[in-house]
Amino acid sequence: MPGTNPATAEKLDQEGMAMESVPVVVPQMGVVEEFVLLEWLVDDGSSVYEGQPLASIETEKTELEVESPANGQLQVLRHPSPESIQIGEPLANIITGSQ
- Asked whether residue 4 carries a pLDDT value surpassing 50, the answer given is no
- Euclidean distance between CA atoms 65 and 20, whole angstroms: 23
Could you tell me the pTM of the whole model? Answer: 0.78
Q: What is the pLDDT of residue 11?
A: 52
Q: Does domain 9-98 have CATH number 2.40.50.140?
A: no
**What is the chain's Cα-based Rg?**
14
Residue 64: Cβ-neighbour burial (10 angstroms; 0-12, 13-18, 19+)? middle
Query: What residue spans define the domains of the chain?
Result: 9-98
Cβ–Cβ < 8 Å for 32, 87: yes
Task: Tell me the three-class secondary structure of 21-33, residue by residue.
Answer: EEEECCCCECCEC
pLDDT tens column, 8-61: 444 555 555 578 999 999 988 888 899 999 999 999 999 999 999 999 999 988
Q: What is the pLDDT of residue 17?
A: 58
Q: What is the pLDDT of residue 19?
A: 84
Q: What is the pLDDT of residue 77?
A: 96
